[in-house]
Every structure is written in C-alpha cells, then in structure tokens.
Structure 1
Amino acid sequence: MDTLLLILGFLCVIVGVFGSFLPVLPGPSISWIGLAVLYFTNAVPANYWILGITLLITIVISVLDYVIPAKGTKKFGGSSYGIWGTNIGLIVGILTPIPFGFIIGPFVGAFLGELLYDSKNHNRALKAAVGSFAGFLASSFMKFVVCMMYLGLFLAIVWQYRSAIF
C-alpha cells in the first residue's frame, strides 16, 4: 500500500509541475496533494508543520494566480476595463478549444477591454495587453518555482525515509 501511495503522490507532484503552465490544472494544489499523500504512508510520520506551511503557500499562490495578470495590466497603464477584459479573457481562453487559449484569452481580453474604454488609443490598448501577458508569464513562473520546491521537498522526504519505504 505504501508503494501505491508513493507512486500516486509522485504522480501528483509531477502533474502539478505541468499544471504550473497549464491553467486548466491547478499546479500548486495538485503538487500539495502529492505531498499530503506521501504522509499517508506508514513509513513517513506526519509532519503537520510542513503540511500546514505548504498549504498556506499553496493558498496564497492560488489567489495570486488570478491577481497578477490583472495587476500586470494595470501596471502597464490599463484601466479597469482592461483588468476586467483580462479576467474575462482568461476564463474564455480556458474554456475555448483553441491551442494556447489560456495565453491568447487574457491578451485579447485586455486589448478589447481597453478599446471599449478608449477606442481611439490603440497603443494604450496594446500596452495593457502586453502587461496582461507579462503578468501571466510572471504568475506561471511563480507557480513553476513553487511546484519545483514541492518536488524537491517530496524527493528529500522520500530520501530521508528510504529505508522504511523501500
């Protein structure tokens, strides 16, 4: 049973790493579940400090994942229309079956939102859309770093208790 839980936990952590780039999968959350599954094994004693701290990090990262693209739009001169366009574009981009819709959606949404705000200023709209894209990249990088830290933590715990697990 421990081997099955170990494999399941490892698969969750790996899927979480891929999920850090694919908005359809909540990467840090899946990686955290992989860590939690590791502690369900008989070989690894429960460490509520590690689980609690990593859960808190996961919650903060999940909230920031929705805030950062909108903040990127605002930082690059976007209005509230651009911010709403970014958020709506993200949802539409995830739900549409086009390749890379999760990247194209916020960009187009911010651009269209800014054009609704000021239809004559195309440069401002493009700048806000670039800010949305930069925010998406920053958010994805942040999630990737956290998921890689969870992978490292998972492997360190497995290494520490390798004699009991294997």
Structure 2
Amino acid sequence: MDLLLLTLGFICIIVGILGSFLPVLPGLSSCWIGLLLLYLTDAVKNNYWVLGITFVIMVVITILDYVIPAQGTKRFGGSSYGVWGTNIGLIIGIIAPIPFGVIIGPFVGALVGELIFDAKDHRRALKAATGSLLGFLASGFVNFLFCIVFLGVFLTIVWQNRILLF
C-alpha cells in the first residue's frame, strides 16, 4: 500500500509541475496532494508542520494566481475596468474550451475593459493588456517555482525514509 501511495503522490507532483505550465491541470494544489499522499504512508511519520506550512503556501499562491494578473494590469496604467476585465477574462479563459484560454482570456479581458473605459486610447488599452499578460506569466513562474520546491520536499522525505519505503 505504501508503494501505491508513494507512486500516486509522485504522479500528483508531476501533474502539478505540468499544471504550472498547462492551466488545464491543477498546479500547486496537485503537488500538495502528492505530499499528503506521501505522509499517508505507514513508513513516513506525520509532520503536521510540513503539511500545514505547505498548505498555507499553496492557498496563498493559488489566491495570488488570480491577483497578480490584475495587479499587472494596474501597474501598466490600467483602470479598474481593465482590472475587472482581466478577472472576468481569466474566468472565461478557464471555462472556454479554446487553446491557451487562460493566457488569452486575461489579455483580451483587460483590452476590452480598457476599451470600454476609453475607446479612443488604443495604446493605453494595449499597454494595460500587456501588463495583464506579464502578470499572468509572472504568476505561472511563481507557481512553477513552488511546484519545484514541493518536489524537492517530496524527494527529501522519500530519501530520508527510503529504507522503510522500499
């Protein structure tokens, strides 16, 4: 049973790393589930500190995944219309069955929001939409970085308990 939980946990970690690039897959939450599955084995003693800290990190990064693109729009001169457009575009991009919808959605949403705010200033609208895109890419990078950290934690725990696991 331990080997099955270990294998499922590792698969969740890999899915999480891929999910930081492919928005269709869950990212950091999948990595955390992988750590949880590792701690559910009989060979690894429960460490609620590790699980608790990684859970808090996962929740904070997940929230930031929605906040960072909106802040990118704002930093690049976008109005509240652009910020709302980014958030609405992100939600539509997640739901819409189009390739790269999660990347295209916030960009188009910010662009449309800014054009609703001021239809004559296309340059400002494009700048705000670019900020949204850069914010999304920054968010994805942070997600990937923490997925790699979770992988490191997973591998360290496996290495420390290798005699009991294998």
| TM norm structure 1 | 0.98
- State the alpha-carbon separation in 2 of the partners of residues 113 and 93 from structure 1: 15
Match of 1:55 in 2: 55
- State the alpha-carbon separation in 2 of the partners of residues 49 and 97 from structure 1: 39
Match of 1:33 in 2: 33
How much does 1:34 deviate? 0.4
Match of 1:4 in 2: 4
Cα deviation 1:35-65 (Å, max 9, x = unaligned)? 0110010111011111111011111101111
Match of 2:46 in 1: 46
- State the alpha-carbon separation in 1 of the partners of residues 69 and 33 from structure 2: 25
Match of 1:24 in 2: 24
Counting only pairs closer than 5 Å after superposition, residues 93-108 of structure 1 correspond to structure 2 as 93-108=93-108
How much does 1:24 deviate? 3.1
Q: Tell me which amino acid in the other structure corresponds to 2:143.
A: K
Unpaired runs of 5+ residues, structure 1, are none
How much does 1:108 deviate? 0.6
Match of 1:65 in 2: 65
| TM norm structure 2 | 0.98
- State the alpha-carbon separation in 1 of the partners of residues 59 and 22 from structure 2: 18
- State the alpha-carbon separation in 2 of the partners of residues 110 and 72 from structure 1: 10
Q: Tell me which amino acid in the other structure corresponds to 1:75.
A: R
Unpaired runs of 5+ residues, structure 2, are none
Q: What secondary structure, in the 3-state scheme, does the structure 2 residue paired with 1:136 have? A: helix
- Please tell me whether the aligned partners of residues 14 and 31 of structure 2 are also in contact (alpha carbons under 8 angstroms): yes
- State the alpha-carbon separation in 2 of the partners of residues 71 and 52 from structure 1: 28
- State the alpha-carbon separation in 1 of the partners of residues 135 and 4 from structure 2: 38
Match of 1:127 in 2: 127
How much does 1:91 deviate? 1.3
- State the alpha-carbon separation in 1 of the partners of residues 93 and 119 from structure 2: 23
Aligned residue-pair number = 166
Cα deviation 1:51-107 (Å, max 9, x = unaligned)? 111011111101111100000000000000001111111111122222111111111
Q: Which runs of 4+ in 1 moved over 6 A?
A: none
- Please tell me whether the aligned partners of residues 15 and 26 of structure 2 are also in contact (alpha carbons under 8 angstroms): no
Cα RMSD (Å): 0.8
